[in-house]
Structures are given as C-alpha cells and as structure tokens.
Structure 1
Amino acid sequence: MEIELKLLLAPQDAPRLRAHPLLAQLAQGEPLVLQMHDMYVDTPDLQLCRHQAGLRVRQVDGRWMQTLKAGGSVSGGLHSRHEWEGEVPGPQPDLAALDSVIGRKQPIRALLRQDAIRDALQPVFTTRIKRTVWRLRTPQGDQIECVLDQGVIESGADGTVRSVPVSEIELELKQGQAASLFDVALALLQDVPLQLGHLSKAERGYRLAAPQPLRAVKAQSLALDAAMSVEQVFLVIAGNCLEQVSGNQDGVAAGEDVESVHQMRVGLRRLRSALGMFKSLLALPDALKSELDWLGGALGEARDGDVLAGNTLAQLDGEAATEVAALVAAAHAQARRKHVQAAKAVTSARYTACMLGLQRWLQARAWRDSCSVRQVRRLDASICPFARATLRKDQRRLLKRGKDLPKLAPPAHHRVRIAAKKARYATEFFASLYDAGQVRHYVKRLSVLQDELGWRNDIEVADGLLRALAEMQPDLLQPAAYVRGYLAGQLQGGAGKALARPWRRFAAAPLPSKGSIGQA
C-alpha cells in the first residue's frame, strides 16, 4: 500500500521549496533529478478509470517501468492506494507480469484478465515531468521521499492536443509513521504557499482526455465490523468524513457549484458530530477546533446564501415575485460573493494547515498522549457497547428536547433539529452493525422530522439575511419587510399541526437493535 501526501505549489514558488532549510537538514545526500515520460493506457470507454485504476508505462533514464495503481482513498490530501510495478522491455504494458503480482482478492485482477480489456488497451494521455527527489530521514528515523514534479499532462492527437501544467510535491512514506509526512508538510508550509492536492496525475489526465463537469461528492457508506475497537471505528468514521470534505474541495474552489458547497459542509458537520460523539475519550485540540469552526463558518455563509436565493425566495410567485425582483437579484449577488469567499477559504494556506494538522492528529493518535488508563481501556474495547450506548443516548436526548414539540415555540425547534441531526449521523455511522431494514426505517422517520424542522430553520435564517440585506441597501427595506412578513406567516400558520405527525411517527420508531450488535 502506497501512502503519500500530495501538495500543489505555484511554479514560481519552486525555488523557495528547493532552498528550504528543512530539505538541507533532513536530506540524505544530494537530490536526484530525473526526466520522465509516462504513457497512461486504458480502453476506449475508459474501463480502468471506471474501476478507479490507472495503468502507466514510464520511461526514465532509458528504462521502462509499468505501474498499476488501484483502490485506496484520498483524505485531506493523504493518498492511500495499492500499487504494483515492474520493469518491462518497452512502451507496451505486460499484463501477464502484473497478473503474477496482484493479489487474488483484488477486483482489478479479474478485470485485467478479460480479453476484451487486454486487447483494447491504448494510450489515453501522457505526462512529461522533471522530477527532483530528496530522500529524507527525520530525527525519529522515519524515511520519506520528497518529490518535486514540474511538467505537463497532454492528451489528444496532433493538432488537437490539450494540456495542463503540473507543479506539485509528493511526500511518500518509505518507512516509519505516517504522521511524519504531516510534520514535514507543515514545516514546508511555513515558508512555501501550498494547497492540498486531491487529484492524482492519472485523475487529472483522465479529466483532460474526457472532460466532465465537477460533481459534488456525497458521503460514502461505512462498512464496520463488530470486532473493531472504539478507536479503530473512530478513525474509519473520521477518514470517511474527510474524504467527503476533500472530495468537494475542487468544486468549492471553482466558486460557483452550489452542491459542492453543500456536500463539503455536510462532510464537515458529520466530522464535527463524530468528534462530539467520541469526545469523552479523545478531545480535539482547541486550536484545531477553532479552525474547523472558521471553515464551517465560511461554508455556512455560502450555503445560507444559496438557500435564501435558490430555495426560500424561489417559492414566491406571481405578483409577489415581481414586487421583490430587486431583492431576489440582490440575494443572488450576495450568494455569489459568499461563494467567492468560500473558494478563497479552501484555497488558502490556512485551510491547508487546518487539514494537515487534523490529519496529523489522526495519524499520530495524538489523543493517547493525554488519555487516562481508563480511557485507553475504553478506546481498545469493542465498538458494540459504545455504539449501543451512543444511539440510546442520542435518542433519549432527542425525545427529551422534543417533548410536546408541536406546542414548543420556534426557538426551541433549533435545539430539537440539532439533536435529530446528531442522532441521524450516529445511526448512519453505525448502520452496518445493525439490521439494514431497521436502520432504514429509523433513519427515514428521522429524515422526515429533520426536513420539517429544516425548512423552519431556513425561514429563521432567511429573516436574518433579509434584515442584513436591507441594512446594506436601504432601497430593499420595503420588499425585505414584505418577504419577512410573508415568511413569518408561513412559520406560524399551522405550525403545531405540521410538526405533530412526523414527531409522533419518530417517537414511535424503535431504535435499531438487531444485527452484529444485537448478537454480540
């Protein structure tokens, strides 16, 4: 399994990296400089890409090497994936040689054995890279390969060649602890502006060869085992949340994609919910918590602007919509400004430092430094009792906060909504430990309740945003007052009746109990 951290830098900052004192301090000898020419192959319909694999043949110093990478994950810039390589006589891949080294249980092995795949392989794109390699050794004895790649990715035939530049750093762990990758990256970040690299060269090449619009990344289902420890499950959950966060980074950075902002925010909220769920055993350092709050604020403002402009005000129609057209236009303009601010946030050195610091904390399991003996025992215990207790606690809290919900005043709805969201996240985190039907039934009723409480919260948020818009632009005072009154009427009209049914149905829903945990 290859473990590497990918960071992007502007080409003009490469000299600052080469001159960085850390490299001189940790390097074992002079850097190695290589000229590399890679050819990536796939079928015309990109079957390897569809199976999250990349096959390349590389020419370097007169030798040819083939490399297949498949599977794995990307979380906060940290790439973990399976890799198989070997020398070949020329530019054509040798699939028989790969077959002999790929593990029998790897899905990519069966794919490459298909004649239709083997016979259809052809060049898809190429890279031409100047690579500078420093072999580093940390004071703790960890061995890291620091690589600076600068060059170009090209795709297409003569006359229609498309290209994108490459300027990136790869820190690959050769021996030792993965946390050391983040120590080196954070040290470099002090002097060199860096961004997290979410895409591999192969992924960038495929996007060049077959352009596709950016797609928002939703949370992936978790596959937990009842034999896992509490700490192991926390790491899996945190990694899953960070995959969703980093997977939407490019979409947010583009400055326009509404769904990427939404999904990145969801990933961050899931992460913060998980941290709260495990806080009795492992507390996030205050500095990192503050940075997550900052990021959540930037994404939240963009999301709130989208909901106001694209959802809440979009409900107006007919004469009402005509009368507030200027207000709607101002709301859309405000949403665009908030998107620009969110894009600046996720492309900033501050965001890079936040993600690197968080990953370093996770990889080093730094919470153990301040854990009591009792906490360590609980971390090492089976996940089953912890999961059961967590779901019961979340359910009790929600039932307590929502008691007589239809009669509660709107301000109390927010606390109920937060409790419902935490209960849903926890249930989805632990879903694979329970009977799928029970989980589906419970989450569905939670979701309906959340939706009902959610639109009420959207109206409350909209009221504040409309008031702020009117303060900034006095000519919007009258239409803003009209819409605020209209929304307030919606909020008050039949409020209790609308909440009664989803609350009653949730309160009667049994907590998931069967499955791995029920048998433990």
Structure 2
Amino acid sequence: MTNEASGTGDMEIELKLVIDPADGAALARSPVLAGITPDDGAQSTTYFDTPDGALRDKGLSLRVRRIGERYIQTIKAAGTSGAGIFARDEWEHDVAGPAPDLGGSSPLGAMVDEAVLARIAPVFSVTVRRRAWQVVTDDAEIELVLDEGTVTAAGRQAPVAEIEAELKGGAPAALFALARRLGTEVPLRLGVLTKAERGYRLSDGKLGAPVKAAPLSIDPAADVAAAVAAIVGGCLRQFRLNEDVLRTRDDLTALHQTRVALRRLRAALSLFKQVLNDDCFATFTAGLRELARALGEARDLDVVIDGLGTQAPDSLTAARDRAYAAARAALDDQNTRDLMIALVEWVTLGDWRLRPAHDEAVSQPAAEFAAATMTTLRRRLKKRGKHLAALDDEARHEVRKLAKKARYATEFFAPLVTGKKAVRRHKKFRKKLAALQAHLGALNDLAVAPGLLERFGLADHPVDAEARERLLRKAAKAHKALMKTKRFWSAGA
C-alpha cells in the first residue's frame, strides 16, 4: 500500500518469512501458486543514511529502488514489528533518478532537521530478482513476493532469500493459512530482519553474529495485549537471529543466546498466563519446553568442558559435537518452524486477544499488570530464598528459577517505568537481581556437573567444596541485598 508523499503514511501489514537460498525454485513450483503468472523482474535498491546512522536511530529508512527505467523512493517509519508480522507507516513516490528527493514535498523533512538531511548519503544496496504472485482465496487477497539476491555493504556481500506476504484485502489470518500451506512444501522460517536491518548489520560487520536480547519498545500507556505482543515478538526475534547462527556452525554464544531466548519466551508466557490461558496455551508451552530440552545437552557439556579446561577428555568433546548436531536437527525440524510461525499468529490473532474470556484483563493497563506481577514475584522470592545457604540443591534450584523469572520480568517491564526515581530504582533492582541470579547459576552448574561427569566415567573429578561454600555465602548475601532494594514499581513519578 502506498501514498503519494502526502505526509500521512498508509499502513502496510505483511508476514515476512525466509527460506534457504537453494529453495527458491521449489517455492515457485508450489501447487499453491500453480496457474498464477508472476510479475518477474530485477530490482536494484540503494539505502541512504548519514554516516552515523541518524535515520536508523530514529526508526526511519530511506531507499530509492530502480525498476527498469523507473526510480521509486520509499520512506518507512518504525511501527509494530518483532517477528514475522510487520506493520509500518510508508510513504512512496517516483523520483527523477537514483538520488533521493529531500525537498519540501518529502515527509522526511518533518521528521529530521536540515543538518541531518544535508549529510545523507548511500550506505548499502540490495539487488534481487523479484517474483510476485497475486493469490486470491475465499477470505483474502494476498501479494506473495519472493526476493532472491544479495545485499552489499562496506565491501561485504550476503545472500537475500525472503518472502513477503502482504495483505491486500481480507482477514490477516489468511497470511498464516498461506504460510502453513507453503511450509509443507518448502522449509519456511520467520523473518525478523527487514532488508534495511540486514544491510545495516552487514555494514557494521554484525550480520550472522550472536545477539543478546534487545531493549523492547512498549508505550508506557499500552494495554496488556500490546505489551504481550511486544514482549513475545522480542523473544522470537532473539531466538531467530541466534538460531540462524547455530544452524551454520557450533557456536557456544549462539547456543546460549538461543536458549536464553527460549527461557525468556517461556517466562513471558508464564507471567501472562492468566491472560493467555486459552485452548492453545498448553500446546505452546509444551512445544517450547521440548525444544529447550533438545538444546540443553549441548549447553551442559559446554559448561563441564569449560570447567575441566585442558583436562577435558576427548570423549566429552565428541559428546558435545553429537549434542550440537542434535540441537541443529531439532532446529531444522518442521515442528520447530511451524511452532514459531504459529506463535506469531496466536499472539496476533488468538482467542485470548480477539475473544477473551475476561476482556478487562486484556485491556488492563500494562503498567498496572506489571506492578501486581512484580509484587507477587518479590514476595515469593523473599519467602523461598529465606535461609538460602541452608537449602538443598533442589530447593535452591527452585529459587534460581524464580530469580530468573523475576529478572526477565524486570527487563520486560522496563519500558513501562517512568519518572527519574522509578528509573533509578529499576536500574538498582535489576543489578541486584542479576547478581543473585549469577551466583545461583554458578551453584547450579556445580550441582549438575557430577552427574554429567559420572556419565562419562569422570566421577574422580570432585566438586570444589570451598568454591561451593563461597558461592553459597555470596548468594545469601545477594538475596538479602535484593530484599533491601526499593521497589521500582511503586516509586511514582
């Protein structure tokens, strides 16, 4: 959907998916597209920004695309996006040549100052073969676009192989129905990067590198439904970016961050269970738990091998190689691909949101929900962490899981924290909570190690009792410090 540079953008709603570069021909042969003649042509697109990325920092992208002898300028503003579904304001119009039009008629002038406009220059380019099918179903009209080509930035190149299913008319559920049909023939995964993001990452040398969870963007006045969509979308984005790394190589950091993304996602579903608990809830939580379990063996072996250092035997290294192969197989399984796409559909269009049993819970201000949730988590953490050093391994593990859940909640709800006092308290609370989680995590690694070592005939490697006692003292001290920390969710403005 386009607008003739009027200063008000049309809203574009699309489902973005990615395929392996070798699968484009198979997609084009799909029976779903049989009898539909696609538009087929080459496109060359140049993206513009300042050297320091001023447009990117404002959530804007500026491009000029050449199609034949025609040059089309497009400006996109950040909207709701995270994983799969993208909804953005867009302004598009023809320009005279390959340079962008930054004159008085451009809406960009109202978004950035003249000093920024004066420094805009080419940053990267994307060249693709684009095939577009107009798919008409009983419920909707969808433009299905397959782009195959390369992105070029800073002397580097990377492949592009992605699908955009844009809703032209009808119900958004039709986008997911089409994805399910195509996914039975060609492996499809959620797309979480726009071409602009892909180009920027390539330019920065970060495309294909493991990533940590990125800060979320949630309006402090948002309701619970909007907060859930943003939080789950952020978790899925972290998962997909690290999954892509792990599928190409054994990478300890990528494995860790993939598992972190799954833990954050499971924590999010648990935190919002009273809102999300419809007929699909149990299916998604079970699927995520099973996937996390499939990745756990490789991570456990990484921890043990790291602890043993040069004393780690070849049998452990071989076991780790097998565990990584099993982890990749789990990620490549169609059930995993389908699970992630179905999660986006559920969060966007699920009964919990469109036909809630308790509408007041879904429409409740997210900040109120966050305050009540943090109060409950703190109370439980205080009770279970009492006499922490005297707890057995199993009870302490339960405290660790609760601390982790509280930390993720603290991160999820960060955008809802307003006012200088609350922000200061949030920062301190998060720091104290992270310290407690770190000590409890190290203790858990010590508790798990003997069982793993025994499996490989290495039971003669004793646990460092002194290190364990030191960690117990540190964990107990960290718990007391956290309980003394003021609550950020009741600080006021």
Q: Secondary structure at the match of 1:486?
A: coil
Distance 1:438 1:139, change over 3 A: same
User: What's the counterpart of residue 8 of structure 2?
Assistant: none
User: What's the counterpart of residue 474 of structure 1?
Assistant: none
Report the alpha carbon displacement of residue 112 of structure 1 after superposing the two structures with TM. 7.5
Match of 1:102 among 92, 104, 108: 108
Report the alpha carbon displacement of residue 466 of structure 1 after superposing the two structures with TM. 1.6
Report the alpha carbon displacement of residue 103 of structure 1 after superposing the two structures with TM. 7.5
User: What's the counterpart of residue 20 of structure 1?
Assistant: 30
Distance 1:455 1:32, change over 3 A: same
Match of 1:36 among 40, 43, 53: 43
* 1:69-104 C-alpha deviation (Å, 9 max, x unpaired): 45356533334444332111222322226x622373
Match of 1:351 among 328, 336, 341: 336
Residue 433, structure 1, aligned to residue 417, structure 2:
yes
Q: Secondary structure at the match of 2:186?
A: coil
Report the alpha carbon displacement of residue 268 of structure 1 after superposing the two structures with TM. 1.8
Letter in 1 for 2:323: K
Q: Distance in 1 between matches of 2:190 and 2:484?
A: 46
Q: Is the 8 A contact 1:44 1:122 kept in 2?
A: no
1:361-376 aligned at under 5 Å gives the runs 361-368=346-353, 371-372=356-357, 375-376=358-359
User: What's the counterpart of residue 3 of structure 2?
Assistant: none
1:495-510 aligned at under 5 Å gives the runs 497-510=473-486
Residue 9, structure 1, aligned to residue 19, structure 2:
yes
Q: Secondary structure at the match of 2:210?
A: coil
Report the alpha carbon displacement of residue 47 of structure 1 after superposing the two structures with TM. 6.3
- Uncovered stretches (5+) of structure 2, i.e. residues with no partner: 1-10
Q: Distance in 2 between matches of 1:269 and 1:45?
A: 34
User: What's the counterpart of residue 214 of structure 2?
Assistant: 220
* 1:144-191 C-alpha deviation (Å, 9 max, x unpaired): 2101223444568xxxx8755443322123344444322211121012
Report the alpha carbon displacement of residue 275 of structure 1 after superposing the two structures with TM. 0.8
1:301-320 aligned at under 5 Å gives the runs 301-310=297-306, 312-314=307-309
Q: Is the 8 A contact 2:330 2:336 kept in 1?
A: yes
User: What's the counterpart of residue 448 of structure 1?
Assistant: 435
User: What's the counterpart of residue 66 of structure 1?
Assistant: 73
Q: Is the 8 A contact 1:195 1:348 kept in 2?
A: no
1:79-228 aligned at under 5 Å gives the runs 79-96=86-103, 100-102=106-108, 104=110, 106=111, 109-110=112-113, 113-115=116-118, 117-118=119-120, 121-122=121-122, 124-127=124-127, 129-140=128-139, 142-153=140-151, 164-205=158-199, 211-212=205-206, 214-225=208-219, 227-228=221-222
Residue 466, structure 1, aligned to residue 453, structure 2:
yes
User: What's the counterpart of residue 410 of structure 1?
Assistant: 393
- Uncovered stretches (5+) of structure 1, i.e. residues with no partner: 315-320, 471-476
Q: Distance in 2 between matches of 1:234 and 1:390?
A: 14
Q: TM-score, normalised by structure 2?
A: 0.84
Q: Secondary structure at the match of 1:220?
A: coil
Match of 1:331 among 313, 316, 319: 316
Q: Is the 8 A contact 1:143 1:176 kept in 2?
A: yes
Q: Distance in 2 between matches of 1:337 and 1:266?
A: 21
Q: Is the 8 A contact 1:255 1:340 kept in 2?
A: no
Q: Distance in 2 between matches of 1:223 and 1:153?
A: 27
Q: Distance in 2 between matches of 1:334 and 1:449?
A: 31
Q: Distance in 2 between matches of 1:340 and 1:275?
A: 28
Residue 292, structure 1, aligned to residue 292, structure 2:
no
Q: Distance in 2 between matches of 1:453 and 1:17?
A: 48
* 1:248-301 C-alpha deviation (Å, 9 max, x unpaired): 232222323322222222222112111111112212433322321232123333
Q: Secondary structure at the match of 2:103?
A: helix
Number of equivalences: 477
Letter in 1 for 2:488: P
Match of 2:463 among 463, 486, 510: 486
Q: Secondary structure at the match of 2:108?
A: coil
Which structure would you say has the larger Rg? 1
Q: TM-score, normalised by structure 1?
A: 0.80
Q: Secondary structure at the match of 1:359?
A: helix
Residue 401, structure 1, aligned to residue 408, structure 2:
no
Distance 1:505 1:201, change over 3 A: closer
User: What's the counterpart of residue 473 of structure 1?
Assistant: none
Q: Is the 8 A contact 2:238 2:261 kept in 1?
A: yes
Q: Is the 8 A contact 1:288 1:358 kept in 2?
A: yes
* 1:352-379 C-alpha deviation (Å, 9 max, x unpaired): 211100001011033246742xx22222
Distance 1:10 1:267, change over 3 A: closer
Q: Secondary structure at the match of 1:466?
A: helix
Instruction: Determine what percentage of the aligned residue pairs are the same residue.
Output: 37
Report the alpha carbon displacement of residue 507 of structure 1 after superposing the two structures with TM. 3.0
Letter in 2 for 1:392: T
User: What's the counterpart of residue 57 of structure 1?
Assistant: 64
